[in-house]
């Protein structure tokens, strides 16, 4: 028989697809639209198995929707700015731009070789001038709209290299290059006002019912809404009044200290005259700026010796401390500490010997014996030791405390969000330049739109020198003020690359490719027609930042009138796929070995190159550093793209990890041969035939095929591709056993091949054309299920006698209980068993079982 040769068949069909341009999405189509998108790749230089799995999943959806009659948009591009290009250029002495475009070219070919149904006409890279020019225009629109502002904020400062470091360049609190302990410095930075949308971004999560619950929860936590009280404490003596934020005003009677952030204005003032306050601040600054760093650092405090009045207790004062765990960026940067009911406060109080007064009594504790030792009680209970709040529960205590403070004129109930504005300034070269000019006379001005883009200089960039290459570039900085014409200074910060990925999907939807449109970010009508993305697929590592920033951007674009998307949600459906894992192999010295270099000999693993023994370790995510990677190129060469795609989809549910194994791939390869074997001897016929007159085995096959197809469809709809795959196997087996050559077989084959098409499109095209399909299988409609074939017409019922299974009978599905009973009692095994016994009872559970009780 003819052998199925993927390396010949696959490129041949790819040429057909390309020459017919079948994957180009038509903006003006009358069909319902479907936008399928996978998170676009960073051009690191190689396609890895994670990419294959990610894009294969999106491709299943895209092809399935096309078969269902949708006009499908399924584009691809490159998330191309960022640090790795600078690092690579630093090492090689090359240019980040050359490195990036070289990688894109190197990755496009294998990506095309995988045969995804992608509209390549819309391809772009975020580092294309045409793209970042429009991003600069958006930045200016956002600025006009009040969604962009400039303020002083902390940056990571390397005191040896005298430069700002990106977070990624700070490793364990030290500069990546100098190894110096990184300090926090204040610098002017650009921010996107994402907090304007805090409430909308939170509420919108409730409408995203096709998002994973865990992602919605993570975003909700990140936004971190809390209702509480902002109130003023009155300082005594040298201590000025100041505001605190608390979510637990019900515990005010348990307050035993005040803690101010080291960056609180009051502390900064104190530091001017007290050098030990200043040294304490410097010590705190070493911890870093991230919330995790602060949360995990040991608690540090400094007693100022100053006092404030307790708002409720006449004559009581509270000591004012400076504490490293209070963040300036949240609430008011000041708190009251209630050690009995907050673990952080308790740790702090124990360390510095401050009072611990319990004020919330747990349900089954008695007030006389209740005490707090090392564990704070944060649950609900009854208020004690709390004056006018005594006896109240948490909710009543909260509202009573808030009203009282409001009546006293000391504060008001407020809502706070943990969400901070998005700091987008990066002191790096390989990013979108922020289109701003600084003039000594006129201030900070936007670059006039006609002067966009502010293009990155493409000349030798020496990345071995610390600092921002744009800042020391000989010409980039120098520009004339657009207002007064005098020499001025260009902004040298570039935008966080998360900005690039916050609107690329709108450009795909409203762009024709080749840098079009060139006069706006995207065509408003087309983008608004396609959006939201119906199905987005990507890694769960983007659960918060990327997916939140994109939700912010669409709202900003909407409010600037650029996008007609009333609810502002860019992604209606989201799926987060699992990873591709592989065993790690090591040699005797513990060095990692590529799976491709490992061989099995007499049951032992050996290194192909040295013949020495190899140890198999854990199965973990494929990563270059552990060498447990399989190169998609190699797999495609050996087995073909379909097999690689099939395997990553077949073995596990899509949201779980899939372990890459050689045997699994071989299994997938064999399966593709088996499918081909079913059709290779069929002379052209009609794979769209419907065998309505079938009976006997032919009817059984029809039933089997329609039931399988029903489950295959349900599996795709529910993103459980592995269950679809299992049904495809079943149907293939059933067809393998079927010996007649008739319409029922042709119909079942036609169903099978169309079901396979989203997974193994090349094999499916080859089979479809062999079967005589008169369109491409890509253009063939999804099989229509004949509901009548799903109804069981006969069922098998087990018969139990005195609780033991003794026999079974086959009966029509709609047979009455009386008839079933009569048949069961006539069964020859039953007759023999019942000989000499009296039947006491016959219980029939419809569709399930027959029970006979006799003695």
Using CB under 6 A, list all residues that contact ligand ANZ: 224, 226, 245-248, 251, 325-327, 330-331, 333, 335-336, 338, 341-342, 416
Is 331 in a helix, a strand, or coil?
coil
For residue 453, whether the previous peptide bond is cis, meaning omega lies within 30 degrees of 0, is yes
439 binds, among ligand ANZ, Zn ion, none (CB under 5 to 8 A by kind): Zn ion
481 binds, among ligand ANZ, Zn ion, none (CB under 5 to 8 A by kind): Zn ion
CB 355, min distance to ligand ANZ, A: 14
- Please identify, using beta-carbon distances, which residue of 295 and 444 lies nearer to ligand ANZ: 295
430 binds, among Zn ion, ligand ANZ, none (CB under 5 to 8 A by kind): none
251 binds, among ligand ANZ, Zn ion, none (CB under 5 to 8 A by kind): ligand ANZ
Q: For residues 330 and 338, what is the distance between their CA atoms, to the nearest angstrom? A: 18
In sign, the C-alpha dihedral spanning 569, 571, 574, 576 is negative
Tell me which residues in 468-487 interact with Zn ion (CB under 5 A). Answer: 481, 483-484
Cα distance from N-terminal residue to C-terminal residue, the chain: 63
Tell me which residues in 9-68 interact with Zn ion (CB under 5 A). Answer: none
Only one residue has tokens 């049951």, namely: 603
Q: What is the DSSP letter of 431?
A: S
List the structure tokens of 130: 């045409």
122 binds, among ligand ANZ, Zn ion, none (CB under 5 to 8 A by kind): none
- Residue 156 and residue 466 in contact, taking contact as beta carbons nearer than 8 Å: no
Q: For residues 127 and 252, what is the distance between their CA atoms, to the nearest angstrom? A: 54
CB 330, min distance to ligand ANZ, A: 4
53 binds, among Zn ion, ligand ANZ, none (CB under 5 to 8 A by kind): none
- Please identify, using beta-carbon distances, which residue of 30 and 441 lies nearer to Zn ion: 441
CB 376, min distance to ligand ANZ, A: 7
Give the largest Cα separation in the chain, rounded: 116
- Please identify, using beta-carbon distances, which residue of 93 and 485 lies nearer to Zn ion: 485
- Please identify, using beta-carbon distances, which residue of 257 and 585 lies nearer to ligand ANZ: 257
CB 248, min distance to ligand ANZ, A: 4
Long-range CB contacts for residues 385-389, cutoff 8 Å, separation at least 24: 385/253, 385/254, 385/357, 385/358, 385/359, 386/250, 386/252, 386/253, 386/254, 386/359, 387/253, 387/312, 387/313, 388/312, 389/250, 389/253
Q: For residues 287 and 182, what is the distance between their CA atoms, to the nearest angstrom? A: 9
331 binds, among ligand ANZ, Zn ion, none (CB under 5 to 8 A by kind): ligand ANZ
- Please identify, using beta-carbon distances, which residue of 484 and 843 lies nearer to Zn ion: 484
- Please identify, using beta-carbon distances, which residue of 484 and 826 lies nearer to Zn ion: 484
Only one residue has tokens 């983008």, namely: 527
In sign, the C-alpha dihedral spanning 386, 392, 397, 399 is negative
442 binds, among ligand ANZ, Zn ion, none (CB under 5 to 8 A by kind): Zn ion
- Please identify, using beta-carbon distances, which residue of 383 and 598 lies nearer to ligand ANZ: 383
138 binds, among Zn ion, ligand ANZ, none (CB under 5 to 8 A by kind): none
Phi-psi region of 115 (alpha: psi -120 to 50; beta: other; left: phi over 0): left
- Please identify, using beta-carbon distances, which residue of 338 and 389 lies nearer to ligand ANZ: 338
74 binds, among Zn ion, ligand ANZ, none (CB under 5 to 8 A by kind): none
Is 33 annotated as contributing to ligand binding? no
CB 194, min distance to ligand ANZ, A: 18
List the structure tokens of 269: 């003032």
Q: For residues 124 and 40, what is the distance between their CA atoms, to the nearest angstrom? A: 10
Strand residues in 384-477 grouped as ranges (E): 411-417, 422-423, 425-426, 436-439, 443-446
- Residue 749 and residue 682 in contact, taking contact as beta carbons nearer than 8 Å: yes
441 binds, among ligand ANZ, Zn ion, none (CB under 5 to 8 A by kind): Zn ion
- Please identify, using beta-carbon distances, which residue of 147 and 326 lies nearer to ligand ANZ: 326
- Please identify, using beta-carbon distances, which residue of 324 and 650 lies nearer to ligand ANZ: 324
Partners of 439 in the β-ladder = 443
CB 336, min distance to ligand ANZ, A: 5
CB 439, min distance to Zn ion, A: 3
CB 412, min distance to ligand ANZ, A: 16
Which is nearest to 242 in space by CA: 332, 337, 322, 345? 332
CB 380, min distance to ligand ANZ, A: 12
Phi-psi region of 513 (alpha: psi -120 to 50; beta: other; left: phi over 0): left
CB 243, min distance to ligand ANZ, A: 10
390 binds, among ligand ANZ, Zn ion, none (CB under 5 to 8 A by kind): none
- Residue 46 and residue 88 in contact, taking contact as beta carbons nearer than 8 Å: no
Residues 6 or more apart in contact with residue 778 via CB below 8 angstroms = 17, 22, 63, 66, 67, 117, 757, 761, 765
Q: For residues 348 and 330, what is the distance between their CA atoms, to the nearest angstrom? A: 19
Let me know the angle formed at the C-alpha of 449 by 448 and 453, rounded to the nearest 5 degrees: 105
Per-residue contact string for residues 406-445; x = within reach of Zn ion by CB under 5 A: ---------------------------------x-xx---
CB 218, min distance to ligand ANZ, A: 15
- Please identify, using beta-carbon distances, which residue of 106 and 483 lies nearer to Zn ion: 483
Residues 6 or more apart in contact with residue 790 via CB below 8 angstroms = 703, 706, 707, 710
List the structure tokens of 459: 């000349």
CB 138, min distance to Zn ion, A: 24
- Please identify, using beta-carbon distances, which residue of 117 and 258 lies nearer to ligand ANZ: 258
- Residue 366 and residue 384 in contact, taking contact as beta carbons nearer than 8 Å: no
| Residues making up the binding site for ATP | 624
Interface residue list for Zn ion (CB under 5 A): 439, 441-442, 481, 483-484
| Residues making up the binding site | 624
């Amino acid at each position: 028989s003819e052998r199925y040769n993927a390396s010949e068949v696959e490129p041949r069909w790819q040429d057909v697809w390309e020459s017919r341009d079948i994957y180009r999405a038509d903006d003006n189509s009358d069909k319902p639209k479907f936008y399928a998108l996978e998170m676009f790749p960073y051009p690191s230089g190689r396609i890895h198995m994670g990419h294959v799995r990610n894009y294969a999943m999106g491709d299943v959806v895209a092809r399935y929707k096309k078969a269902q009659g949708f006009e499908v948009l399924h584009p691809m591009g490159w998330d191309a700015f960022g640090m790795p290009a600078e690092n690579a250029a630093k090492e090689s002495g090359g240019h980040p731009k050359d490195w990036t475009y070289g990688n894109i070219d190197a990755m496009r070919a294998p990506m095309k070789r995988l045969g995804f149904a992608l509209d390549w006409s819309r391809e772009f890279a975020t580092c294309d001038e045409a793209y970042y020019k429009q991003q600069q225009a958006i930045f200016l629109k956002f600025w006009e709209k009040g969604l962009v502002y400039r303020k002083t904020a902390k940056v990571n400062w390397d005191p040896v290299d005298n430069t700002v470091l990106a977070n990624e360049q700070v490793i364990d609190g030290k500069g990546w290059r100098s190894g110096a302990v990184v300090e926090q410095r204040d610098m002017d930075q650009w921010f996107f006002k994402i907090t304007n949308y805090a409430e909308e971004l939170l509420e919108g999560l409730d409408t995203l019912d096709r998002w994973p619950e865990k992602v919605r929860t993570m975003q909700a936590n990140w936004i971190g809404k809390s209702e509480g009280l902002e109130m003023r404490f009155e300082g005594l003596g040298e201590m000025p009044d100041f505001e605190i934020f608390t979510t637990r005003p019900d515990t005010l009677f348990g307050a035993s200290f005040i803690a101010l952030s080291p960056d609180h204005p009051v502390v900064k003032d104190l530091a001017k005259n007290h050098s030990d306050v200043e040294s304490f601040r410097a010590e705190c600054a070493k911890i870093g700026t991230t919330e995790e760093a602060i949360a995990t650092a040991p608690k540090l405090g400094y007693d100022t010796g100053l006092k404030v009045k307790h708002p409720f207790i006449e004559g009581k004062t509270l000591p004012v401390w400076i504490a490293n765990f209070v963040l300036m960026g949240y609430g008011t940067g000041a708190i009251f500490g209630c050690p009995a009911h907050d673990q952080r406060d308790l740790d702090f109080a124990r360390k510095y010997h401050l009072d611990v007064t319990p004020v919330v009594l747990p349900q089954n504790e008695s007030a006389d014996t209740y005490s707090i030792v090392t564990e704070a009680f944060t649950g609900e209970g009854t208020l004690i030791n709390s004056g006018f709040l005594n006896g109240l529960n948490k909710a009543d205590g909260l509202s009573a405390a808030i009203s009282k403070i409001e009546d006293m004129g000391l504060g008001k109930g407020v809502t706070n969000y943990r969400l901070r504005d998005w700091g987008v300034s990066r002191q790096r070269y390989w990013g979108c330049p922020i289109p701003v000019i600084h003039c000594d006379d006129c201030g900070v001005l936007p670059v006039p739109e006609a002067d966009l883009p502010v293009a990155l200089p493409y000349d030798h960039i020496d990345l071995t020198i610390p600092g921002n290459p744009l800042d020391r570039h000989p010409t980039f900085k120098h520009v004339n003020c657009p207002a007064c014409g005098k020499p001025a200074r260009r902004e040298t910060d570039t935008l966080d690359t998360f900005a690039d990925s916050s609107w690329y999907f709108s450009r795909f939807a409203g762009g024709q490719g080749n840098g079009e449109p060139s006069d706006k970010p995207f065509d408003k009508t087309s983008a608004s027609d396609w959006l939201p993305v119906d199905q987005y697929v990507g890694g769960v590592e983007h659960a918060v930042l990327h997916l939140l920033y994109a939700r912010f951007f669409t709202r900003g674009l909407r409010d600037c009138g650029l996008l007609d998307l009333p609810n502002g949600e860019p992604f209606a459906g989201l799926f987060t796929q699992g990873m591709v894992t592989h065993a790690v192999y090591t040699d005797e010295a513990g060095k990692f070995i590529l799976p491709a270099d490992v061989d099995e000999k007499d049951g032992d693993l050996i290194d192909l190159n040295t013949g020495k023994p190899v140890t198999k370790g854990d199965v973990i995510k494929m990563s270059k550093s552990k060498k447990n990677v399989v190169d998609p190129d190699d797999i495609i060469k050996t087995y073909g793209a379909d097999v690689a795609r099939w395997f990553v989809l077949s073995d596990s549910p899509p949201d779980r990890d899939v372990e890459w194994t050689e045997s699994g791939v071989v299994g997938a390869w064999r399966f593709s041969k088996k499918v081909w074997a079913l059709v290779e001897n069929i002379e052209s016929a009609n794979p769209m035939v419907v065998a309505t007159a079938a009976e006997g085995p032919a009817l059984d096959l029809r039933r089997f095929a329609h039931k399988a197809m029903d489950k295959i469809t349900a599996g795709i709809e529910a993103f459980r591709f592995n269950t679809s795959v299992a049904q495809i196997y079943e149907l293939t087996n059933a067809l393998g056993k079927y010996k007649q050559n008739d319409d029922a077989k042709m119909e079942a084959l036609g169903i099978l091949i169309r079901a396979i098409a989203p997974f193994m499109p090349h094999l499916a095209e080859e089979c479809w054309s062999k079967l005589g399909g008169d369109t491409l299988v890509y253009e063939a409609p999804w099989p229509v299920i004949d509901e009548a074939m799903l109804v069981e017409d006969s069922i098998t019922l087990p018969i139990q006698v005195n609780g033991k299974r003794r026999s079974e009978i086959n009966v029509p599905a709609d047979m009455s209980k009386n008839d079933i009973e009569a048949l069961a009692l006539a069964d020859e095994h039953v007759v023999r068993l019942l000989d000499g016994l009296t039947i006491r009872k016959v219980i029939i559970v419809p569709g399930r079982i027959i029970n006979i009780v006799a003695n």
